[in-house]
Amino acid sequence: MSHDDFEIEPVEGLPEEPPRGEQILWQGRPDWWQLSIEALSLKWVAGYFALLAIWRFLSSVDLMPLGRAIGSAVPFVLLGLVVCGLLMLVAYVQARATVYTVTDARVVMRIGAALTITLNLPYTQVGNAMLDLRKGGTGTIALETIGETRLSYLVCWPHVRPWHIKHTQPALRCIPEAEKVARLLAEAAEARVSVPQVSRALPRTAVAAE
């Protein structure tokens, strides 16, 4: 029997139904391949093991036959393939467990594979949004929060702006069509923040009585 850990969500990626009038503008997930490259440094890890294998081969080729020299480098190649495979698996699982939601009132991030949390970021708590666009149209949108909002870098990783540890900036990491999503987010945030906040005034009789 199949089991879906998120089957109780009324809307995928959201812990509850959106309030009346709130519209979902976009939903998506990270591109797992780009996530493995950017967040998990897949290319750097692969390059590291490739250098180890080359170093082992060059240091052995003068001391033993060519076939044995190549064989001495094979364990580094195999170990590198295993490590890179694990990194790609982690990236894939992270991407599948993540749902980013942009509405006309907020950004919601359901993140985490082992420990799933949902971040709710109203536009009134977002001071700035920064787009890091990459080749192919994928990119990362980092959100600079304001006010009393404080987030843990480790809990949110890899869905954060890299190396901003003291003031953690949650981020929509490695999403397709990032420029289009950034435009939607900017327009929605500008419209939401510019809406005047109307408070209920006391009746004149009550004010006079005071």
Q: Checking phi first, is residue 110 left (phi over 0); if not, alpha (psi -120 to 50) or beta?
A: beta
Q: What is the pTM of this model?
A: 0.81
pLDDT tens-digit profile of 105-153? 999 999 988 788 999 999 988 888 999 998 888 999 999 988 777 888 9
What pLDDT shows up at residue 39?
93
pLDDT tens-digit profile of 82-109? 999 999 999 999 999 999 999 999 999 9
What pLDDT shows up at residue 120?
92
What pLDDT shows up at residue 201?
46
Q: How much is the mean pLDDT over the chain?
A: 85
Nearest to 172 by CA among 182, 164, 180, 163: 182
pLDDT band at 50 (very low <50, low <70, confident <90, very high): very high
Up-side HSE of residue 207: CA atoms within 13 Å toward CB? 4
Domain ranges of the chain: 24-30+98-193, 40-94
The CATH number of 24-30+98-193 is 2.30.29
Say whether pLDDT at 164 is over 80: yes
Say whether pLDDT at 205 is over 70: no
pLDDT tens-digit profile of 168-181? 999 999 999 999 99
